Copies of this chain bind each other. A is one copy, B any other.
Amino acid sequence: MAGNSKKAILLIIDGLGDLPTPKTPLQMAKKPNLDRLAKNGMTGLLAPVKRYVVPGSDTSHLQLLGYEPSIFYHGRGPLEALGLGMDMRNGDVAFRTNFATVKNGRVIDRRAGRIDTKTAGALSRNLSMKIEDVQVEFKNSVEHRGALVLHGPGLSHNVCETDPHELGPVHECHPLDASREAAKTARIVNRFTEITGGMLSAAPENRKREKPANMLLLRGAGYYEKVPSFTERFGIEAACVAGGALYKGIARYLGMDVVIVPGATGDRNTNLRAKAQASVKALQDYDVVFMHVKACDSAGHDGDVEGKKRMLERIDAEAVPILEKSGAYIIITGDHSTPCCRKAHSGHEVPILVCGKGERTDGVTKFDEISCAEGGLGHIRGKDIVYLILNLIEKAEKYGS
């Protein structure tokens, strides 16, 4: 489509990179479309944050979208809350939450028996409340997950988590500095935990559950501060197509519009065709679309080589041809490696490809961790990506004259 000749789609495949055992999932996957784009374009290896630094998904996406995390990252909680559509004002504090099962003050299941979304939704009614002069807003998302926002004056994110991250005693929330703000925040968190613990224990939805969702565990404290928008900073309009709350939240944080796509679930059942079609459609109104696919990372965390390979094959078959047909420049990479053998993020670089009409090419014909090491982009960094896109679509401002 000629109208897209100065537009770009940035596809981030979460946790894309891996290690060879003896081949990587990318090397094993049948992915004729990705390989063709690699052949017709330029490839390389991307260090999302810095060489060998192990990125979180939050810091990495900020960096890939041009927002240096050492300046713009203030914790995970606010990004999750924004992704659930919750409003945040300067100075608000937010947490990620888990419904958990607690017995005699000890967590016996951090996910309350992987509670279903519908039951969690029913339990979530009336869990928002005012404590002191702070409005405490809770919202559940998928299964046991949710977010908590504290709106009000004099708060601090410098408090410890109540989530022990393992089975064992629930942590009390303590201030992590001597400030009045941290003391107040910890007090409110503890009061909220106590009140909601009582409400949940008494909730009819929990009565028949073997693993009652009788506690909200908090982690990922962060504060919200409005940042200059992506458009203000880079002079182009951007939209986001994603399933996972974090990615939608990051987009909202940066002032990008989030396109709602039915069937975009953020898991391995996500509707990739619908997401790709929505991305291409959004090019009518935006210069660049950031499309995110989560499930490869989840498979990596599960150590599921076969699942990661299958998801890559789905992306190749279902999403890539639609993106390619748009006529836009296409950049495909990941936010970090999640090697299946480690079941965790790693600091290994991630393959990247850049493809579009009239762009340079290299000799690489396959899109994988080993082949792309020989690519013409060399070793590039997360902070280069926005400038790469601006240059591709001829929207870069000249530096000097």
Closest to A359 in B: B19
Which of B19, B59, B348, B360 lies in contact with A370, CB distance below 8 A?
Answer: B360
Is A400's CB within 8 Å of the partner chain B? yes
Is A391's CB within 8 Å of the partner chain B? yes
Q: Within A346-401, which residues are at the interface with B (CB < 8 Å)?
A: 346-348, 358-363, 369-370, 373-374, 376, 378-381, 384, 387-388, 390-391, 394, 396-401
**Mask: chain A, 263-300; 1 = CB below 8 Å from B; 0 = not:** 00000000000000000000000000000000000000
- Pair B373/A73 contact, Cβ less than 8 Å: no
Residue of A55, A373, A391 with highest tally of chain B CB at under 10 A = A373
**Mask: chain A, 60-96; 1 = CB below 8 Å from B; 0 = not:** 1000000001000100100000000000000000000
- Pair B400/A59 contact, Cβ less than 8 Å: yes
- In this complex, how many residues of chain A approach chain B with their Cβ under 8 Å: the count is 54
Is A104's CB within 8 Å of the partner chain B? no
Complex copy number for this chain: 2
Q: Within A5-45, which residues are at the interface with B (CB < 8 Å)?
A: 19-21, 45
- A288 → B minimal CB distance (Å): 14
Q: Which residues of B lie under 8 Å from residue A373 when comparing CB positions?
A: 360, 362, 376, 378
For chain A, what secondary structure do more than half of its interface residues adopt (helix, strand, loop), or is it mixed? loop
Which of B51, B362, B400 lies in contact with A73, CB distance below 8 A?
Answer: B400
Residue of A73, A76, A399 with highest tally of chain B CB at under 10 A = A399
Q: Which residues of B lie under 8 Å from residue A360 when comparing CB positions?
A: 19-20, 348, 369-370, 373
Which of B55, B362, B394, B400 lies in contact with A56, CB distance below 8 A?
Answer: B400
Complexed CA–CA distance, A374 and B380 (Å): 15
Complexed CA–CA distance, A45 and B376 (Å): 9
Complexed CA–CA distance, A355 and B1 (Å): 45
**Residues of A that sit less than 8 Å from B by CB:** 19-21, 45, 49-60, 69, 73, 76, 220, 341-342, 344-348, 358-363, 369-370, 373-374, 376, 378-381, 384, 387-388, 390-391, 394, 396-401
**14 sampled A-B residue pairs with Cβ under 8 A:** A50-B384, A51-B384, A52-B390, A53-B396, A54-B398, A58-B401, A220-B401, A341-B358, A342-B394, A346-B391, A347-B391, A374-B376, A378-B378, A379-B380
